[in-house]
Amino acid sequence: MTRALYSLCGADPQNFFSPHCWKAVMALAHKGLSFEEIPTTYARIRQIGGGFSPTVPVLEDNGRLVSDSFAIALYLEEAYPDRPSLFRGEGGKALSRMVEGYSQMVVHTAIMRIALLDIHAVLDEGDKAYFRESREQRLGKTLEEIAADREAEKAAFPAKLEPIRHMLKFQPFIGGESPLFADYIVFGAVQWLRVVAGLSMLAADDPVMTWFERCLDLHEGRGRTMTAA
């Protein structure tokens, strides 16, 4: 069986930084499934499956294409029920949807404002114009104008993780005693920041950092295959 995951990369084809792709990577590793991770720039996404999806990750599993990290997790759960569960039932799916909303609306928004220029800097030259135009249109400012508030955004970032700290008072993972896809959602966001800009705004003894370090060690240290900025 052939299995491939198309993941966003920068100018360095081994620089995988997308939070959504990291969710899919960790979901596949959680299931114990082997796969090839295929470096994909923004410009090359349209070549996948004849324009199958405008975004990555895209999973190709023995000829079947699945896009969107959450859809990939749901597919893996259904296709490989004998492997470790990503949700442990409908409650885990509902939990993951809530965590997805928190991550994308709060954590991702903050990271974008901290790391926009860092992300732009690591991109393939052919992707930089697209990234600049699309993000400036979305945010209503130039990348440089947004970056002017970077230090304030960094200072404010730890407080936005307070819901995770509260949860960690009771259990080692969002999923409980062991991780679920909900963990990989937030892990993907923090890994994105780690890879493109570093985590200097989080103290080493911050409970979120200790949780993140545990996640980096999961699945034979898959998360540590990417060097921090």
What's the pLDDT tens digit per position in 184-210?
999 999 999 999 999 999 999 999 999
- Residues 195 and 94 occupy one common structural domain: yes
Tell me how far apart the alpha carbons of residues 10 and 84 are, in angstroms, rounded to a whole number: 32
Is the pTM higher than 0.95? The answer reads yes
Give the CATH number of the domain where residue 98 resides: 1.20.1050.10
- Residues 95 and 70 occupy one common structural domain: no
Final residue of a domain: which of 31, 54, 79? 79
Question: Using CB atoms within 10 A of its CB, is residue 137 exposed (0-12), middle (13-18) or buried (19+)?
Answer: exposed
pLDDT higher than threshold 70 for residue 1: no
Host domain of residue 41? 3-79
